[in-house]
Amino acid sequence: MFALVAEAIGKLLPVEKICYVAFSHVEADEFGALNDCLATAPGAVLRTGSHVLRWFDAPHVPHAGECGFMLETETRTLLCGDLFTQGGDGATPVTESDILGPSEAFRSPMNYYAHALHTGTVLERLARERPQVHECACTAALGGATMLRALAQALGARTVAAAA
């Protein structure tokens, strides 16, 4: 699928000018073309210079044990991978429209969330970081903490106290 992904990226910028490549967890659909991507854009390594990124461990949220998310602290951009996965061609790179409805419609038939006991707690911790933009699979969206809390509610996730 790398050829299709590279073609889509090319509509926004030349692929070889990619600066950063990151993954929230290891799966073939998100990770499988890493070597192809790095071969095309060898400068795509984590040398941020002007950006400060914070990592948040999120095991099993939404599914893989090694999941985690990054937040760019100045722009409050949450790199949130599969939290709001949507099908489609990603023709709208940034939207103020609802992303939860389309995401839930996409997720529901597969129900790929782990439904971990701490899912609500993880989503609330991310919400407290006040993200302004969610960089999701197939689109980016404005929605901030409200969108994360709405996702927790849609999943029936509860916030639980941390074990002592």
More confident residue, 148 or 25: 148
Query: Given pLDDT bands bounded at 50, 70 and 90, which one contains residue 140?
Result: low
pLDDT over 50 (residue 96): yes
Range of 18's domain?
A: 1-47
Q: Read off the DSSP letter of residue 102.
A: H
Mean pLDDT of the chain: 79
Count: domains in the chain? 2
Q: Are residues 37 and 108 in the same domain?
A: no
> Residue 164's pLDDT is what?
36
Mean pLDDT of 20-24: 67
Residues 82 and 107 in one domain: yes
Q: Are residues 26 and 81 in the same domain?
A: no
Dihedral of alpha carbons 99, 105, 109, 115, sign: positive
Secondary element (H or E) of residue 119: helix 119-127
- With beta carbons less than 8 A apart as the criterion, state whether 159 and 103 touch: no
- For residue 34 the two structure tokens come to 């890493």
Using a cut of 0.75, tell me whether the model's pTM lies above it.
Answer: no
Are 33 and 80 contained in the same domain?
Answer: no
pLDDT at 53 over 90: no
* pLDDT computed for residue 49 by the predictor: 74
Q: What is the mean pLDDT of residues 36-55?
A: 74
| 155 shares a domain with 118 | yes
**For a pLDDT cut of 90, what percent of the chain falls above it?**
11
